[in-house]
Structure 1
Amino acid sequence: MIEINADVEAIIKEAILSFVATVNEDGTPSLSPKASLTVRNGVLYFADIASPQTIRNLRRNPAVEINVVDIFQRRGYRFKGRALILPPGDDEYLTIADWVQATNGLEYPVDHVAKIETTLITPLLSPAHVFADPPRSQDEIRITYYRKYGVKHIGE
């Protein structure tokens, strides 16, 4: 398993929304948004709050890919690996469930927690990073996309 470093963890926290891809029974892809992706002790986890198809798919085929991109930094990461569905009452399950409910409120049910055995992490960079000539700084990219999305950064 590949351990998650500080930059990856920071992107996950800042981006908030990630997308989890699994494989349906008929072999077609299934993509599910998650706002519960988190890192604990260098390991990825997400909670199943309202994604029964994701859990069914992972029980049958634990292959998973997760993408997380900070829309303002225009960068993120792709994770490939295998998911383990943790049983309720497991210490790791409780840690993630407690975090989800502390963050979102007790009305958010945590039906399952998936622990990801990460086998590959690759950076995702938008063309804003790759093709700009001359290259732009991360701050320039961030400011450009705050404007593009009509977001006023608190620091401005």
Structure 2
Amino acid sequence: MEDRAILCWLATVSEEGLPNVSPKEVYAEPSEGVFLIAEIASGRSLRNIRANPAVCISLIDVFSQRGRRLEGRARVVPADSEGFDALAAPLLAQVGTRFRIRNVIAVDVSTESAVRAPSYLFYPETEVAEMREGAMRSYGVRPRDDR
């Protein structure tokens, strides 16, 4: 499935067991089983990953109301460490000089599953186009003319 998610959502858990979910704007999947996130301003996510590397990532297309859920173990790769440049390359390609990437959050994905809105489950005849149209009406937006 092609991802049309604009953000990914990273879920972490603190040392005290408190959950945290935060949006991440800059991410990449350079290869199967590897998910990279640019750490730009994510102090709490970093602290949580250092205490507990288990993470969950959600990528949702808000218009089709479908997406993916990734689970795995994360590690923090600081900018001054060996291997940072290679990991940061696909992220820097997205942002150029707009943001300073302080660290890369590298996730080794162990499980991937589909995420679907309940309409797809309870009404199997539901079509993606129908969901897109409904979401666009709800959000008050129109499709872009991609000539």
Q: TM-score, normalised by structure 1?
A: 0.81
1:37 Cα offset (Å): 2.4
**Runs of 4+ with deviation above 4 angstroms:** none
Deviations along 1:87-112, one digit per CA (max 9) or x if unpaired, are 42544x32453444443341411111
Give 2:18's aligned residue: 28
Equivalent residues in 2 for 1:124-135, closer than 5 Å: 124-132=115-123, 135=125
Q: 2-side partners of 1:41 and 1:79: how far apart?
A: 14
- Secondary structure at the aligned position of 1:130 is classed as helix
Does 99-108 or 63-72 show the bigger shift? 99-108
Unaligned runs of 5+ in 1: 1-6
Q: 1-side partners of 2:87 and 2:130: how far apart?
A: 35
**Counterpart of 1:127 in structure 2: which amino acid?**
P
Residues 74 and 105, structure 2, Cα contact 8 Å, conserved in 1: yes
Q: Which has the higher strand share?
A: 2
Identity value in percent: 32
Unaligned runs of 5+ in 2: none
1:120 Cα offset (Å): 0.9
Equivalent residues in 2 for 1:89-104, closer than 5 Å: 90-91=82-83, 93-95=84-86, 97-104=88-95
Please provide the CA RMSD for this pair.
Answer: 2.0
Give 2:101's aligned residue: 110
